[in-house]
Structure 1
Amino acid sequence: MQMIADLHTHTLCATHAYNTFTEMAAAAKEIGYCALAVTDHAPAMPDSPHAWHFQNWSAMPREIGGVVMLYGAEANVMDTKGGLDLSESQLKAQDWVVASIHSSCVPGLLTRREANRLWLAVAENPYVDIIGHSEQENYRYDYDLVTKAFARNHKVVELNGNSFNVRRDGIPNMRALLRACLANGCHISVDSDAHSTHQLQHGLTALYAMLEEMQFPQELIVNATRENLVQELQLHGKPCAEEVGGILL
């Protein structure tokens, strides 16, 4: 199995990542990707870019080296009401919004009820496109209940390659989350969460093996085919769908 885009990556605009936009695009091109979403950490993370970073996308080209660029953010979920650390106007300005929990923003454990309430609220946010690395054990939720809400609200659930490095306690949860997505018709995305070109190029191997083992259907993976990705962007009302379609179709 081979993806045609990565929808969750980082650049050195976040100081715990190591490569530029141009370097990440070149690595994506080498892999054979047609599109790349750069989603650096939103302002509540300690080493995130300044808020202006997320409001200045007109300064950037739509395509770098033959790769269509989706400019976005990994927004931090801040509370069990699903609050995010970007304003509505900032969220509107993004091509692609990942919503994730990070321990620096939601410290400690959540009860199952709290985690359910958090993700059910995020599911109702019209500006969130994808749910980031939600398999974490500290924030375990009812996968069947919540993926139904994700599917109903057209949220994509991410399978995250970087979790094999930094969130290993959640790896056993990935299969259960995938089973719930399959049962409820919830689309997924297979992403590296790369913080370097090395991770971009090598970060999906374990995920490919898991998907093949489970025989997960390609039609539910938004970045598995050209048609899937364009349809997903159109469904989310993304202006970049036209550019992506022009390259991919």
Structure 2
Amino acid sequence: MQMIADLHTHTLCATHAFQTFNEMAAAAKQAGYCAMAITDHAPAMPDAPHIWHFSNGGALPREMNGIVMLYGAEANVMDTKGGLDLPQGLLSVQDWVVASIHSPCMPGLLTRKEANRIWMSVAENPYVDCIGHSEQENYRYDYDLVTKAFAKNHKVVELNGGSFTVRKDGIPNMRALLIACMENGCHIAVDSDAHSAWRLQHAMPPLYSMLEELSFPQELIVNATRENLVQELKLHGRRCAEEIGGILL
């Protein structure tokens, strides 16, 4: 199995990552991708880029090293009402927005009820495209209930390669989350969450094995084919959809 794009990656604009935009694009090309999304951490995360970073995508080319580029953000969930750390005006101009819970921004455990409330609220946010690494045990939610809301609101649930190194407690939850997505027709993205070129190229095999084990349908994976990706961007009303579609298809 091989995806055509990685929709969750980071650059050294956050100093706990290690590569430039060009280096990540070159690594994506070497890995066999045709597109990638740069989704650096939004400002509430320690050492994240300044907020101006997320309004300056026009300073960058649509292609780097033969890779079609999407410029986005990994927004942080900040409270149990699903509030995010980027204003809607900035979220609306991103190519791809991942919403994630990180412990520096949401410390401690969440009850199942609180986690459900967060993701049900995020499901209603029109500017969020993807739900990031939500299999974490500290923030466990009702997968059946919430993936129905995700599917209804066209949110993509992420299967995250970084979880195999930094969120191992959530690995057993991934299968249950994927099964709920299958049963409820919820689309997924298969991403590395790479903070280095090496991780971009080596994080995916465990995810592919899990998908193959479950016979997960390709039509529910947004980055499995060029057609799926372009359709998803258009569905979310992203301004880059026509431009990227013209390049990819």
Take 2:241 and 2:34, find their aligned partners in 1: how far apart are those partners? 12
Q: Deviations over 1:50-75 (max 9, x none)?
A: 01100111111111122111000000
SS in 2 for 1:145: helix
Structure 1 gap segments, 5+ residues each: none
Query: 1:156 aligned to 2:156?
Result: yes
Give the structure 2 partner of residue 82 of structure 1.
Answer: 82
Take 2:44 and 2:96, find their aligned partners in 1: how far apart are those partners? 18
Give the structure 2 partner of residue 226 of structure 1.
Answer: 226
Structure 2 gap segments, 5+ residues each: none
SS in 1 for 2:69: strand
Take 1:168 and 1:203, find their aligned partners in 2: how far apart are those partners? 13
The worse-fitting range, judged by mean Cα deviation, of 121-130 and 58-67 is 58-67
Give the structure 2 partner of residue 43 of structure 1.
Answer: 43
Give the structure 2 partner of residue 6 of structure 1.
Answer: 6
Take 1:202 and 1:215, find their aligned partners in 2: how far apart are those partners? 22
> By how many angstroms is 1:239 displaced?
2.0
> By how many angstroms is 1:246 displaced?
2.2
> By how many angstroms is 1:240 displaced?
1.7
What is the aligned length? Answer: 249
Take 1:31 and 1:165, find their aligned partners in 2: how far apart are those partners? 20
Q: Deviations over 1:174-212 (max 9, x none)?
A: 000000000000000000000000011111010000000
Displacement over 6 Å in runs of 4+: none
> By how many angstroms is 1:86 displaced?
0.3
Take 1:203 and 1:244, find their aligned partners in 2: how far apart are those partners? 25
Kept after mapping to 2: 8 A contact 1:35/1:244: no
Change in CA separation of 1:63 and 1:8 when aligned onto 2, cut-off 3 Å: same
Query: 1:246 aligned to 2:213?
Result: no
Q: Identical aligned pairs, as a percentage?
A: 80
Query: 1:114 aligned to 2:85?
Result: no
For 1:141-220, list aligned pairs within 5 A.
141-220=141-220
Query: 1:99 aligned to 2:99?
Result: yes
Take 1:155 and 1:172, find their aligned partners in 2: how far apart are those partners? 22
TM-score (norm 1): 0.99
Take 1:96 and 1:245, find their aligned partners in 2: how far apart are those partners? 14
RMSD over aligned Cα atoms: 0.7
